[in-house]
Amino acid sequence: MARRITWFSLLALVLFLSACSSNSNDGGSAGSGSPSGSSSSEASPTPGDPTQADFSEPVKLKLVFYTGQSKRMAELAGNELKDLVKKEINAELEFVYLPWSEYGGGKTDLMLSSGEEFAAYTDINYLSKSVSKGLYADLTPYVDAYAPDLKSNVAAASFDAFKLNGKQYAIPVGNRASSAAFYSVMVRQDLLEEVGMTSIGSLADLEQYYDKVHAKYPDMIGFASADATYMLMYEYTDKNLNWINNFIAVNEADQDDKLISWYESPEFKKYADLMNGWYKKGIIPKYAVTNQPQLMSDWNAGKAMFFTGTATRPIEGIAGITKAVPTAKLQNYFLSKNDRPKISRGTYNTAYFVSANAKHPERYVAFFNLLQKNQELYDFFTYGIKDKDYTLDENGRVTKLTSDLFFDDWMMMNDKFMRFEKSVPDDFIEQYKHWDDDAILSKTAGFNFDNTAVKNEESKLNGVFTELVAPIASGFVDYDTHFPKTLQKLKEAGLDKYIAEYQKQFSAWYASKAE
């Protein structure tokens, strides 16, 4: 999840209930018996050589996930998964499940600072902060030796994205079309057609869709989120903006290293005014101020009209919604995008760090390798046991025999192994295959910020963001009334120093790429 994390964006992580492609990968087999695909008895480990670790002794690995464990996953973990991991890397897995509110802080921070040994997801910003505190293990010595298959099946640029000062601090997983994530609006196509419309092409169309559906179903909410920064971007600016974090954006249309102080920009005011208008109109429900999780609950229950979209999101949550509304259909649309190219931050889905105190970081890396090693293991981790948890037809389309989740599909997705369910239309698959055709790689891709010089300022700014900025950004309060005081607080917290340090590091990095 190496993407901009806001106060609400963690709620946007819905489960992808699909996959595609029946082609197997030739890189190894499920029963190779060692992390590199060769027998672990072929060579004796060399003392002090990290590429020759001793796998003869069993070890325990702790994995933290930010979702609940299904009953079927618990059964698999105690049986087939346990046996497979023992056979492949001579390890035993312990799973810890935390709510998403603990991601990128909270209990995760406490576990890291107390020296616990575990592995979990990370994003680029969280990586930079944690590495500066010495909380992540340097995994550089282990990647080539213990993740050869993953390196073949995940783009090299994805590995580069999680390097800091040339060292690998997290292992990326996934390889899929992912440009313009959250820049599209995903609407209930069935409702759109029900009120006599066929498509959405602008903000005016979207609001007309809301008005018509609201007139017919007044109890439905409009937008099932409180963050449309990306989704509305094409409407409030002619730039092609991309955000490094909550405070800093870049214009991808310009070939330069200029950073934009987002909250001081005229574009932020335009965006905040749009959101405030939505809030006053009821498109964002009033309860969102105090009960944001309810927005996602309403979406999953089929009680919301639209949400932020991604390349795959129209089928990510359709299984859940159709339980409540069997006729529901979902479709992505861009609002006044015109000829602006989609922005890609990389093709990875997420990345795993290993805590600094881990006794066997190489064994964690060897486990990550299994997740994207070949088709057989991909199917196992994603769908479970063939003919018990899922079946495949002659075209490689998958039918799930259980609604229980295994390893989250959104995390596993890799174009080399993905499968789609039979219910997914052929035209959607074709659209997905061409989603990235007009994409450009962000000029920030591969840049990681070292916050050592501004850690105090960053902490204070995050506090101001939560207390004062987020309500303005979500439209809950009026920009003109509340922003002058908010900007003063941001300045007092060190906004100028923080952005200057970011600019200094980014400019140096940007210049080095041209050398």
**355-to-23, 59, 103, 113 alpha-carbon distances in Å:** 35, 16, 14, 10
**Calpha distance 66→352 (Å, rounded):** 13
Q: Which residues lie across from 173 on neighbouring strands?
A: 350
- Span 435-452, pLDDT tens digits: 999 999 999 988 888 888
Kindly report which listed range (35-49, 71-85, 278-292) carries the lowest average pLDDT score. 35-49
pLDDT band at 129 (very low <50, low <70, confident <90, very high): confident
Please state the rounded mean pLDDT for residues 327-348: 93
Domain ranges of the chain: 51-175+348-383, 179-344+421-515
Q: Strand locations in 204-358, DSSP E?
A: 221-223, 241-243, 248-251, 260-261, 304-309, 330-333, 343-344, 350-354
> How are strands ordered across the β-sheet holding 91-97?
91-97, 59-65, 119-122, 350-354, 171-173
Asked if pLDDT for residue 22 goes beyond 80, the answer is no
**Residue 399 corresponds to which tokens in the numbers above?**
């039918």
Contact 409, 172 (CB under 8 A): no
Contact 310, 178 (CB under 8 A): yes
**Calpha distance 505→178 (Å, rounded):** 27
**pLDDT of 349:** 87
pLDDT band at 18 (very low <50, low <70, confident <90, very high): very low
CA atoms within 13 A on the CB side of 123: 16
Contact 289, 275 (CB under 8 A): no
**Calpha distance 164→153 (Å, rounded):** 22
34-41: long-range pairs with CB below 8 Å, 24+: 34/88, 34/89, 35/88, 35/89, 35/145, 35/146, 35/147, 35/365, 35/366, 35/369, 36/145, 36/146, 36/148, 37/148, 37/149, 40/90
**477-to-225, 471, 473 alpha-carbon distances in Å:** 16, 6, 8
Please state the rounded mean pLDDT for residues 5-11: 39
**Residue 4 corresponds to which tokens in the numbers above?**
């901009």
The CATH number given to 179-344+421-515 is 3.40.190.10
pLDDT band at 32 (very low <50, low <70, confident <90, very high): very low
pLDDT band at 48 (very low <50, low <70, confident <90, very high): low
Asked if pLDDT for residue 27 goes beyond 50, the answer is no
CATH topology identical between 51-175+348-383 and 179-344+421-515: yes
Asked if pLDDT for residue 193 goes beyond 60, the answer is yes
The pairing of strands 163-164 and 241-243 is unpaired
**pLDDT of 148:** 97
**64-to-104, 120, 493 alpha-carbon distances in Å:** 12, 5, 33
For domain 51-175+348-383, give its CATH number from 3.20.20.70, 3.60.150.10, 3.40.190.10, 3.30.1330.100: 3.40.190.10
**Calpha distance 58→92 (Å, rounded):** 7
- Span 388-438, pLDDT tens digits: 999 999 999 999 998 887 888 788 999 999 999 887 888 888 888 899 999
